[in-house]
Chain A
Amino acid sequence: MKPAAHATLRLLAAATGLVAWWCLYRHLAALAAWLTYTVAGLARGSHLGASVEFFVFEVPKVLMLLVLVVFGVGVVRTFFTPERTRRLLAGRRESVGNVLAALLGTVTPFCSCSAVPLFIGFVTAGVPLGVTLSFLISAPMVNEVALVLLFGMFGWKVAGLYLGLGLVIAIVAGWILGRLRLQKYVEPWVYENMATATDAPSDDGTSMSWAARVQAGLTAVREIVGKVWLYVLLGIAVGAGIHGYVPENFMASLMGRDAWWSVPLAVLLGVPMYANAAGIIPVVQALLGKGAALGTVLAFMMAVIGLSLPEAIILRQVLRPRLIATFFGVVAGGILIVGYLFNILL
């Protein structure tokens, strides 16, 4: 078969797949109700019925969204290699650089195990420290798995809020950290061994074929969905239990907006937790339905996803404890403000 015909065929297959995806997605709610009440014969309005329906509806919904979005993001990311992002950021003025770094943090491929090489690569290429930190805040916090889960469980408004506020925190915290002149708390060897270094290939992501980009999207689906599906299942199972069995307004006194201490407590609890966004969000969504306040819930999620102890330990290789503490302090402060603002405004 000619290459052109091959491409057309693939495009057609992709379009058919997308239509099938959409049809199934539209009818998931009806399907879940039918499975729960007609096939399984559970009583409407019962605790068990509510829990089962929640589970049977949310699991396929979230997994379907995840597959689609992770694939799309996987393809988009082939355009933004770390090398290219570094070139875009090197030599930028601080304020503009912070904004750009936070935005690029959302689309550049990032894994916390690469945080150190990336940090060194940025700093030694002349990216200001504060701008580099903006990137390191936004990259883990504003990620596609968290956004899909938020969209699936809370709707686009909360997902949008999380995206916007995550970016604002990354920009402002990075800018403040840049102002604090903390360069002396970066381990000195970071700047030392650059003289002897040889150049890595200039892989800027512009020369890839479309077939390779699609392949990268599929790999992302296999890697990411393969890793988080179990957390999605567990998270939604716990959420379903809460949904059906925990009484209304149970959380109001504990995590409601009148409890002033709930926001700092949420952040304090969130930092040492290194839960997957996929596991934590369904639980949090169920709590919200039982009277927890949105600001408290957002603060908790941001602290869990954005700040983690393992990340601090990894960064310790290049940053002195004082810089790490300041870094975490400033970001946690930003999250606190977001939490309070939401509880007051909404």
Chain B
Amino acid sequence: MKKIQILGTGCAKCQNLAAVADQAAKTLGVPYELQKVTDLKQIMSFRVMSTPALVVDGVVKLSGRVPTLEEAQKLIG
């Protein structure tokens, strides 16, 4: 089970990242759970400096931008 977390306080880009990550994980066909982390203190515990950020199984994969679908697939898979 992959644990995908989207860090972001709720801006438009965060929604986009969540949608792309969700789609990427679906097309990969792996079991996953998607969680949005909106609490600032929790976000900061990952030490990211720009939101939105993509975290897979506790590792920050990308921050500050929304990836393409293929890029998201690579980052998650």
| Interface residues of A, Cβ cutoff 8 Å to B | 81-83, 86, 109, 111, 113-114, 116-118, 120-122, 189, 193, 196-201, 203, 216, 219, 317
Specify which of A86, A113, A122, A317 lies most central, judged by the most chain B CB atoms within 10 Å of its CB.
Answer: A113
Inter-chain CB contacts under 8 Å: number: 64
A117 touches B65 (CB 8 A): no
Kindly state the separation between the CA atoms of A121 and B53 in the bound complex, as whole angstroms: 14
**Chain A neighbourhood of B9, CB < 8 A:** 113, 116
A117 touches B41 (CB 8 A): no
21 A-B pairs with C-beta separation under 8 A: A81-B64, A82-B49, A82-B50, A111-B11, A111-B50, A113-B9, A113-B13, A114-B49, A114-B51, A117-B43, A117-B50, A117-B51, A118-B49, A118-B50, A122-B49, A193-B45, A197-B45, A198-B46, A200-B46, A203-B63, A219-B65
A197 touches B50 (CB 8 A): no
Distance in Å from the Cβ of B53 to the closest Cβ of chain A? 8
A109 touches B50 (CB 8 A): yes
Distance in Å from the Cβ of A218 to the closest Cβ of chain B? 11
**Chain A neighbourhood of B43, CB < 8 A:** 117
B60 touches A201 (CB 8 A): yes
Q: Which 6 A-B pairs have the closest CB atoms?
A: A121-B49, A113-B11, A82-B49, A114-B50, A200-B60, A200-B47
A113 touches B49 (CB 8 A): no
**Chain A neighbourhood of B48, CB < 8 A:** 117, 121, 200
| Interface residues of B, Cβ cutoff 8 Å to A | 8-9, 11, 13, 40-41, 43-51, 53, 58-61, 63-65
**Chain B neighbourhood of A118, CB < 8 A:** 49-50
Distance in Å from the Cβ of B19 to the closest Cβ of chain A? 15
A82 touches B64 (CB 8 A): yes
**Chain A neighbourhood of B47, CB < 8 A:** 121, 197-200
Kindly state the separation between the CA atoms of A112 and B3 in the bound complex, as whole angstroms: 28
Distance in Å from the Cβ of B4 to the closest Cβ of chain A? 16
**Chain A neighbourhood of B53, CB < 8 A:** 200
B51 touches A197 (CB 8 A): no
Specify which of B11, B50, B61 lies most central, judged by the most chain A CB atoms within 10 Å of its CB.
Answer: B50
A116 touches B40 (CB 8 A): yes
Distance in Å from the Cβ of A117 to the closest Cβ of chain B? 5
Distance in Å from the Cβ of B7 to the closest Cβ of chain A? 9
Kindly state the separation between the CA atoms of A116 and B41 in the bound complex, as whole angstroms: 11
Kindly state the separation between the CA atoms of A134 and B59 in the bound complex, as whole angstroms: 31
Q: Which residue of A lies closest to B67 (CB)?
A: A219
B46 touches A120 (CB 8 A): no
B44 touches A83 (CB 8 A): no
**Chain B neighbourhood of A82, CB < 8 A:** 49-50, 64
Given the known interface contacts A109-B50, A114-B50, A118-B50, the answer about A200 and B63 at a Cβ–Cβ threshold of 8 Å is yes
Distance in Å from the Cβ of B70 to the closest Cβ of chain A? 12
B44 touches A200 (CB 8 A): no
